[in-house]
Chains A and B, each alone.
Chain A
């Protein structure tokens, strides 16, 4: 997961070029440019409502940008077969987004029980249990319903679902929101380990600076609808960018207006 630091410029897996998106009068993205090299882990930080989730959902096609281009592996996002495009992605949602009516193993194996990746139920269940083990959950969790699990366990199940089909690209939307610091650390370490061992390209959005330091190869700060600063995580503390400094140190004073 050191693709940005190994000398040669790697092939970009995701490229956003002058992406604009507004909801009514609210211009959320105002020409966002971002490049995520293949096999690297990019963490996007920024205040609430700055458009981090909009950026992430725009790549997946859940939101259609008003203008600008998004490329995935060199091809325009959304071109070609939609199922094949989405099959390259795994996503961990902020609240887990587990399906209430399905037991845990069916949530994890959802993609493996339908569509092009469909396989027999017993095989899908075995894979689900293996992925649950990978995220630190015991097999007896498999038959429980999501509502019977704690927040941390739901995040782990969400993570298991995101990696079940071994995607090339994994998105993490606020992976530690709502978790205590110890569980946040566990999830951060899991994400890091899994992304490294799978060789996947990762894009994470978070406010949690401990997540940034644990997960990121590269960091991008989104402010006022554009990328204010981007670079390797090692350079973050010496960036000299007043916006980034204010954000990472959590200061109320600075160029970013804090509503009191």
Chain B
């Protein structure tokens, strides 16, 4: 391979990546503009709240409680190396609220919701249900995409808040029952240490991650190729894209909230 052809290939890949970013950005803008204008589909929105919010609670709760418990054990063991075991409540609180709560909830939503949305919409595309919607004078962006993105925008922050609380509760349970911490002192240290900005950053991250998860599911579903392979590929790509974007956005938002 000559240096020139290598350069050409690099250029093509870069242009393709930029075009992809442009398409996703336009799709996201379109999803938001369709949210704001009628007709509205309350039944679809209610179903999306149920699917994205309520039915995600068990997996979010289990992820958070085990993560909080493991975090307490790790901080206790690590802190013991320099006699700092007492910082467990503070580090569990800040770790869960600032980072692990939003990121793990985001990733679980990407696994559960993004995949489900992408597979559902891709199947609808493959079986011509999207075309059928259009022939029935119904805009798929308005009927399928807008309710899902709006529901994710509103429910994922709530799930993150619940995940934060359950994660802290997991750390508390392990610390009090296994590591010998005093219950009242643990709770007081947790509450005293957390600041409003910690909670705000957590919820804002949740909103961003929710939009990313739903948008990626809808985008890849709508772009699906033909047949079972097309549906599988759309689902896989949507989860990959959502997970990477959630982690990258988390890095950026952490910088915005805590490094300025």
Binding site for B on A (CB under 8 A): 57, 60-62, 82-83, 86-87, 89-91, 93-95, 97-101, 110-111, 114-116, 161
18 intermolecular pairs with C-beta atoms under 8 Å apart:
A57-B131, A60-B134, A62-B131, A87-B137, A93-B131, A93-B132, A95-B128, A97-B131, A97-B132, A98-B129, A98-B132, A99-B129, A99-B132, A101-B47, A111-B136, A114-B138, A115-B137, A161-B136
Query: In this assembly, does B39 line the interface, its C-beta being within 8 Å of a C-beta of chain A?
Result: yes
Query: In this assembly, does B30 line the interface, its C-beta being within 8 Å of a C-beta of chain A?
Result: no
Interface residues of B in 15-54 (CB under 8 A from A): 39, 41, 47
The answer to whether B129 touches A62, judged by C-beta atoms less than 8 angstroms apart, is: no
Binding site for A on B (CB under 8 A): 39, 41, 47, 124, 127-129, 131-132, 134-138
Name the residue among B39, B124, B134 with the largest chain A CB count within 10 angstroms: B134
The answer to whether B39 touches A115, judged by C-beta atoms less than 8 angstroms apart, is: yes
Determine the chain A residues whose CB is within 8 A of the CB of B132 once the complex forms: 91, 93, 97-99
The answer to whether B127 touches A97, judged by C-beta atoms less than 8 angstroms apart, is: yes
Minimum CB–CB distance from B209 to chain A (whole Å) comes to 26
The 7 closest A-B pairs by CB, nearest first: A97-B132, A97-B128, A83-B137, A86-B137, A91-B135, A93-B128, A111-B136
Q: How far apart sit A62 and B39, CA to CA, in the bound complex (Å)? A: 21
12 extra interchain contacts, Cβ-Cβ under 8 A, other than A95-B127, A97-B128, A99-B129? Answer: A61-B134, A82-B137, A86-B136, A87-B137, A90-B135, A91-B132, A97-B129, A97-B132, A114-B136, A114-B138, A115-B138, A161-B136
The answer to whether A60 touches B136, judged by C-beta atoms less than 8 angstroms apart, is: no
Minimum CB–CB distance from A204 to chain B (whole Å) comes to 15
Name the residue among B41, B134, B135, B138 with the largest chain A CB count within 10 angstroms: B135
Q: How far apart sit A94 and B129, CA to CA, in the bound complex (Å)? A: 11
Name the residue among B124, B127, B136 with the largest chain A CB count within 10 angstroms: B136
Determine the chain B residues whose CB is within 8 A of the CB of A82 once the complex forms: 137
The answer to whether B137 touches A60, judged by C-beta atoms less than 8 angstroms apart, is: no
Q: How far apart sit A91 and B132, CA to CA, in the bound complex (Å)? A: 8
CB-CB nearest in chain A for B134 = A62
Minimum CB–CB distance from A41 to chain B (whole Å) comes to 19
Minimum CB–CB distance from B124 to chain A (whole Å) comes to 8
Determine the chain B residues whose CB is within 8 A of the CB of A111 once the complex forms: 136-137
Q: How far apart sit A98 and B135, CA to CA, in the bound complex (Å)? A: 12
Determine the chain A residues whose CB is within 8 A of the CB of B134 once the complex forms: 60-62, 86
Q: Which of A86, A100, A101, A114 contacts B135 (CB 8 A)?
A: A86
Q: How far apart sit A154 and B67, CA to CA, in the bound complex (Å)? A: 48
The answer to whether B136 touches A110, judged by C-beta atoms less than 8 angstroms apart, is: yes
The answer to whether B135 touches A89, judged by C-beta atoms less than 8 angstroms apart, is: yes
Q: How far apart sit A171 and B41, CA to CA, in the bound complex (Å)? A: 27
Q: How far apart sit A99 and B138, CA to CA, in the bound complex (Å)? A: 13
